[in-house]
Amino acid sequence: MQFLRNPPRFLFFTGKGGVGKTSIACAAAVQLAEAGQRVLLVSTDPASNVGQVFGIEIGNRIIAIPAVEGLAALEIDPQQAAQQYRERIVGPARGVLSADVVRGMEEQLSGACTTEIAAFDEFTDLLTDEALVAEFDHIIFDTAPTGHTIRLLQLPGAWSGFLEDGKGNASCLGPLAGLDKHRARYKAAVEALSDPLRTRLILVTRAQKAALREVTRTHEELAAIGLRQQFLVVNGVLPASAATDDELAAAIHRREQAVLAAIPEALKNLPLDQVPLKPFDLVGLAALRQLFAASAEQPVGEIEANGDFALPPLTGLIDDIAADGHGLVMVMGKGGVGKTTLAAAVAVELARRGLPVQLTTSDPAAHLAETLDGTLANLTLSRIDPQAETERYRQHVLQTKGAGLDAEGRALLEEDLRSPCTEEIAVFQAFSRAIREAGKCFVVMDTAPTGHTLLLLDATGAYHREIVRQMGNSQVGYVTPMMQLQDPKRTKVLLVTLAETTPVLEAANLQADLRRAGIEPWAWVINNSVAAARPQCPLLRLRARNELREIAAVASHHAKRYAVVPLLKDEPVGVQRLQALLTAH
């Protein structure tokens, strides 16, 4: 593997959930340790299974891996870190400030930005503690901070004062309260990250268009702030030897090779490694030692749905949605799970049944037009331009909240307005206009903000609370966007995931986030399921067996209702193929 040649002291593995970061990081740590290096493996992944991979309990302390001389590991629990971080900031305010103010502080500190900054706060010691660093030749991090977080830490001080003056509640500056004490340590950590002699960034992805688009954005964002020592790893590539005597496997192989042949221009100059899909679960040392090597296919047993769960098709959910005649359908989920395709499939089927449908998306229009590949009676498409809406929102905030700021305060506010929360708020404001249409037709929304963003928007705009105050106890004559989202008769939220450990955990976290905002997800959709496709190829049959465990977890623990959409031989492009998603099993 090129990314392991002459490695520096720090190696960061980053990428979307479910692409295999942990497996790649663990295999790299084993290889370096067995080559005689002293290695510390650190996970900040909320779905970390490093302990499971090595068959031991690790937790939030450095322990030696008994089976691998020279290897130690540490699992930072980002949720626990975020809770401790929140309490350090909010704790002193309890009993001093009003309950409303404290609740507002807690909400500002409830989003993904807080979790990320809290995790970064934990592992900056590993970058800057000279005595600790001297104990190891290499420190490997499973999950790296985003460019947004690093840029925030590069800005000048005065975080606390900025927030205390009420200037920094535009989206997610709340997590930065109280950072002044650690600015010197953060500065040293950022310098270490930006030094190619000390740090190497490994971008892990899959051979899929959406995944490569996402990793391109990560590459450009991090390169822009000085993290230019980057390598690209495409994980889980189906080998040609597995694509014989199975139409599904052959189609996947052709699709992946076409994607790799058309790799985005921005990534072409990065050193590239491909890791083939393996016919075994990546747990245990034997598996990790084989991950980077070519290996023969191994036979696997029959796919059996053991348990009291089924693989229900999407058409069952649409039957229930269509019965209402109109309403809002929000398709939500993390990047790369296929939200756009499923939103289009739901809209197409509702329109095919003669119901009026408006499909609203913040996805670039070309992608959606490519997915639909045609027109359909009863279906109209509206598009929200995220860049235009975000810029409009950004300018509004700068002209109002930023008008009286000094240069330092304005720099803080401008950086805050580059956060992912800002785009979600701006896009949701545009979505709010479409929500009103759901009283007379179906409005299907692709891409939706998180519960944290909805609550933050509700709090900063005070729209919902102000209307409630004006109307008193009357419940007639007004419906705010938040009220519509919270009403299951008006809004149905579909959570989209994949039948893999990390995507399911991310969807469960999103569900908890939405519930905090008073929004109850109506159903889960498990997309691109190999198990539902009933493959013959041994590699894919093993993957199908592993999926059944995750589908069972969704069926028994997470979802009130769910559907499973199979991985199709042909990409679901065009009206006919989108309809095939509904019933194919």
Listed in order, strand segments (DSSP E) in 377-423 are 379-383
User: Given 124, 502, 513, 569, which residue is catalytic?
Assistant: 502
Q: What are phi and psi of 274, to 5 degrees?
A: -115, 130
pLDDT tens for each residue of 467-514: 455 545 554 455 667 778 888 888 999 999 999 887 888 899 889 888
44 counts as catalytic: no
**For residues 537 and 245, what is the distance between their CA atoms, to the nearest angstrom?**
8
Q: Return the HEC string of 238-298.
A: CCHHHCCCCHHHHHHHHHHHHHHHCCCHHHCCCCEEEEECCCCCCCCHHHHHHCCCCCCCC
User: Given 21, 167, 334, 339, which residue is catalytic?
Assistant: 21
User: Given 17, 43, 45, 246, which residue is catalytic?
Assistant: 45
451 counts as catalytic: no
Q: What is the pTM of this model?
A: 0.77
The beta-carbon contacts of 122-126 under 8 Å, at least 24 apart in sequence, are 122/44, 122/76, 122/81, 123/42, 123/44, 123/76, 124/182, 124/185, 124/186, 124/188, 124/189, 125/185, 126/40, 126/42, 126/74
pLDDT of 349: 93
18 counts as catalytic: yes
Strands laid side by side in the 379-383 sheet: 379-383, 357-361, 442-446, 327-332, 491-498, 523-529, 562-566
Q: Which distant-in-sequence residues (6+ apart) come within 8 Å of 128 by Cβ? A: 185, 188, 189, 192
pLDDT tens for each residue of 208-249: 887 888 889 889 888 887 888 899 999 999 999 888 888 999
More confident residue, 398 or 429: 398
pLDDT at 202 over 90: yes
> What's the length of the chain?
585
User: Given 15, 20, 174, 336, which residue is catalytic?
Assistant: 20
Other Cβ atoms less than 10 A from the Cβ of 141: the count is: 28
User: Given 22, 171, 341, 480, which residue is catalytic?
Assistant: 22
114 counts as catalytic: no
More confident residue, 312 or 482: 312
23 counts as catalytic: yes
pLDDT of 431: 78
pLDDT of 307: 46
Domains of the chain (ranges; CATH) run 2-79+114-160+178-290 (3.40.50.300), 314-385+439-451+479-583 (3.40.50.300)
User: Given 17, 18, 111, 327, which residue is catalytic?
Assistant: 18
pLDDT tens for each residue of 537-581: 888 888 898 899 899 999 999 999 999 999 988 878 777 788 777
502 counts as catalytic: yes
pLDDT at 296 over 50: no
pLDDT at 306 over 50: no
User: Given 15, 17, 23, 497, which residue is catalytic?
Assistant: 23
pLDDT tens for each residue of 108-124: 677 666 777 777 777 77
